[in-house]
Structure 1
């Protein structure tokens, strides 16, 4: 009988726990990392490299799409080999670019990350997302930009 009573009370306990967890306000903020990086001394060269990398990888992706269509249509060994070669070249380029970008970001990364963390913490935000990444991935359906955009506060903190 005691076990049955416990089973009956368990859902009520879980409901009260969930509502309490939801009342704790974990604020989610957004930052335009591109603008922040551009404002940091040394950020310009990193952004230029990022743009060149994105352009090159986009061209390679387009080439792979074309080669995929052709290889699927013709099914010849030459077209299949060309596709494999393009895919391998893309993978190698991507790996090379990742290390170059990481190296270029290293001198400015600590300042960018620490400033974002400090502003977010002092403003009461528990989570901060990159605006561009959130938009591109469709991770966020709605956000009140006036209340969630930390970019101006971070840019102001960087000028100090």
Structure 2
């Protein structure tokens, strides 16, 4: 599983090519967005992944807030060695937790991946989409998307429920 920075770079590279190549913009490329967590929650065996994902999000957000608070203290004028050490320890804890959650999420998603990916590909092909992004990954990348024409979540969820 890619870390968020690597994933953003991997997602931005094709978008940069579209920007740099004017002829690429003239083609009728349709980009769709799918909320993978919503799709996975429609699969009875997907509840463990969704629960783990929510737990990871909450825990990592809390740790990130702690790191930010400790960073402010550690970088303040007259910061003590103890505050700098606390910041360093919090960063290491956050990095370790991120790696652990990424491994756990990858393992939990593995048995669901084929079903979800097959449904996404099927809906995308049937509707003429050439690129489909996970809504969570696209969150920081996409500036504007009309959900009426780009959100494939309902169609993919229906496909997964139908077992196709």
Contact 1:120/1:126, CA 8 A, preserved across alignment = yes
Q: Which ranges of 4 or more aligned residues in structure 1 deviate by more than 6 Å?
A: none
* CA RMSD of superposed structures (Å): 1.9
1:91 paired to 2:95: yes
Go from structure 1 to structure 2 and tell me whether the alpha carbon gap of 1:131 and 1:94 turns closer, same or farther (over 3 Å shift): closer
Deviation at 1:64, TM superposition (A): 0.9
Residue in structure 1 matching 2:124, options 117, 120, 130: 120
Partner of 2:58: 55
Partner of 2:47: 44
Partner of 1:3: none
Compute the TM-score of the two structures, normalised by the length of structure 2: 0.77
Q: Secondary structure at the match of 1:128?
A: strand
Contact 1:36/1:151, CA 8 A, preserved across alignment = yes
1:66 paired to 2:69: yes
Task: Structure 1 unaligned segments of length 5 or more: list them.
Answer: 1-16
Task: Structure 2 unaligned segments of length 5 or more: list them.
Answer: 1-20
User: 1:80-136 deviations in whole A, cap 9, x for unaligned?
Assistant: 1111111111111111111111111111111111110111012111011223432x3
Provide the C-alpha distance between the structure 1 equivalents of 2:161 and 2:145, rounded to a whole number of angstroms. 27
Provide the C-alpha distance between the structure 2 equivalents of 1:122 and 1:109, rounded to a whole number of angstroms. 20
Q: Secondary structure at the match of 2:109?
A: helix
User: 1:9-49 deviations in whole A, cap 9, x for unaligned?
Assistant: xxxxxxxx955x54431111121222111112211111111
Provide the C-alpha distance between the structure 2 equivalents of 1:144 and 1:89, rounded to a whole number of angstroms. 38
Compute the TM-score of the two structures, normalised by the length of structure 1: 0.79
Residue in structure 2 matching 1:133, options 129, 132, 137: 137
Task: Report which of the two structures shows the higher radius of gyration computed on alpha carbons.
Answer: 1
Go from structure 1 to structure 2 and tell me whether the alpha carbon gap of 1:144 and 1:79 turns closer, same or farther (over 3 Å shift): closer
The total of aligned residue pairs comes to 141
